Structure 1
Amino acid sequence: MSMTWFDSPTDATARLGAAGYLADAATATTTFLAGALEKPLLLEGPAGVGKTELAKAVSRATGAELVRLQCYEGLDEARALYEWNYKKQLLAIQASGAEAQAGPGSTGDGDHQSRPWEDLDRSIFTEEFLLTRPLLTAIRRDEPTVLLIDEVDKTDIEVEGLLLEVLSDFQVTIPELGTVAATRRPYVVLTSNASRELSEAVKRRCLYLHIDYPDAARERQILQQQVPGLDDRIAEQLVATVGRLRELELKKAPSIAESVDWARTLIALEIRELDEKAIKDTLGAVLKHQSDHERAVKELKLARS
């Protein structure tokens, strides 16, 4: 069963905008094509530029359920795909043994009264004992689904092998149950901060889009949309300052979300001029490392306390 996610790039721009995401032409076009071609979308770029937010916006714009797999070092098949509920299986085995011992005509000899292992094996590897994780959950859903595989570059390269069957055929093989194929393909978004190079096999199966920090005009639009009541002058000063901070060699450059937090901070403090004192007093809203604070104070020539 297929679904038309967006009618055109123009439709994607309008609906993402209504969902709170300002997409440029390249983003809107690639977002539309990912749905039209039913291909996963790989988003790459610095942390905090809106990659994860784009997947959430697609979910909001289309009314689809968002299923998220947050990647991290050490992620394995049991956490990404599925695992068996071993505690429940053990209880079922114990209960089966107890029933056999207490059955009619029991002689106390469990060899003849216990269920054959083959029958027991079949009975404990069923849906009742299956714990589905994000990949399998998204594959099995009949309703429209956005599958977000977030920060895939944080996993070990071996984990990418788990994704290949899903990204190629949208199906998962469970040895005990067989192959589970998607009845409705999810809209798949993978994000990467480019901390390591992804395999060519994964890239081949995806459409690719690099997302960078927005230009000043677009970031002002984002701030004005996300922070009602923000003065145009303050917005211009804030965006210019954030741009200067991003040019520094910081441990963590300010993200768009941190620009929004800074704008809200200024409104909460009723600051109407982003002067040297205001910047220094509120820098904690946008920089989260002491070394970054020190560098910013030095490079922006802010007065030290």
Structure 2
Amino acid sequence: MSSYSKRTASVVGIAFSLPFIFVFTIFILYPLLYGFYLAGNLSNYYELANDPLYIRAIFNTFLYVGVGVNLKMVFAFFFSGLLMYRKYPAVKVLSVAYLLPWAIPDIAGILSFRWMLNSDWGVINLFLSEFGLPKIMWLNNYYTSMAAAIFFHIWKWTPLWTMTFYAGRLVIPPELYEAAKIDGASTINELRHITMPLMKRLYILCTLLSTIWTLGDFNTIWLLTGGDPGGTTHLASTIAYKYALYVGNVALGVSSYIVLMPILLVLIFMIIKIMGVPGER
């Protein structure tokens, strides 16, 4: 290729890249840098440290992420194992039914679940009343509200990771299981000595990715509880939104979520380390 052709190709490449660079700069880079600028005032962090609702929100975030992500991954790993027995009709029906939560739009699913938990006419309380049990104010209590949010998160997103683990199981050479059966290994031993070691990296990687995404989960809490009762169910994402748009203090809102940035950076570094360079694995 001549030097003229190379210059022409470079100019064309830059021309096609300019719209993306413009959009990236205006809508991503500038807001990010401006957010760091707003979060540079140390008085914001002093105010946050003395706000009991913010302290509760950080606690809720770790509770929501810790319980939700770990249970979700355990269930996903278990169900991915069931999918390996798709030759049975019952498993086929279960696999289709189990994927439905993932197919339901996020907002529609949350609002439907909220209506089901309504203390007066919700389906769950109507079911309880059929057995003579008292109605439960599901979303008027901190513990039941958080439990409901964690339950919905697990119900909604376990199918995604189930399919991911299922794909991981499919690439395990079947010869390993055949050799194990010849040696008289039980199903438990196959799980311990073949499946789990070969799935370890994928499991950890999915857990880290899920943790990052769950740290930024906004819709579940905001649409399900709105941070109530009394602002006690806020997460870091929802209370940042409240500070910025309801209180009108954008700097405080940005600062409230910047606190989680070191955790996110560590998780991202761990993901890069796990993925690594193919030759280093």
TM-score (norm 1): 0.25
Structure with more of its chain in strand, by fraction: 1
Relative contact order, higher structure (CA 8 A, sep 6+): 2
Structure with more of its chain in helix, by fraction: 2
Larger Rg, first or second structure (1 or 2): 1
